[in-house]
Structure 1
């Protein structure tokens, strides 16, 4: 499983005339609301009551397929989360799902 995360983090995505890493995509498209660390401690994150992606219960409650769908189609319960299917490729969406999984706080000692 860790190898998959390392692969996703090191994945370079071709977009237009230049290449972006998944971290670049996160910073450009997601961090404004979700924060650099996925904790949503941003002005927009607090306004929209966005969940903390680093919490184990948040991570466990969401399957990868659900995360892909929310990124692609938007969030039905939060109209501020717009669909990205026309702005991101399927590979970028998959990479973001893997990136979100890296926010999981380590469990216990």
Structure 2
């Protein structure tokens, strides 16, 4: 029983650290263009007509693989969105995908 409790606690702490890491990466690498909430209400977001990632239609249309690909390889629709595959680990990219999914408007 103690082993199970320890395992659950360890997984909970790891998930919390993972979420905090995604928020930190978002703030450092993404927030200046996409905004804190993914709505792109930033100077560059407006100038570049960056999509509002909180919109349910966008969230539904974009698969996790699509989002992961744009983060890793950059965007063919906007040359300002550079590739991050050499700057972020695969785990960080996956965490960002999950973080972006939290933006969906209710």
Which TM-score applies when normalising by structure 1?
A: 0.81
Higher strand share: 1
Between structures 1 and 2, the one with greater helix share: 2
In the other structure, the counterpart of 1:30 is 30
Q: Which runs of 5+ in 2 are unaligned?
A: 1-11
Task: Tell whether 2:13 aligns with 1:10.
Answer: no
Distance 1:68 1:8 in 2: 21
Structure 1 unmatched ranges of 5 or more: 1-5, 14-19
Task: Give the number of the structure whose alpha-carbon radius of gyration is greater.
Answer: 2
Counterpart of 2:59? 59
TM-score, length basis structure 2: 0.83
- Distance change (3 Å), C-alpha of 1:9 and 1:49: farther
SS in 1 for 2:99: helix
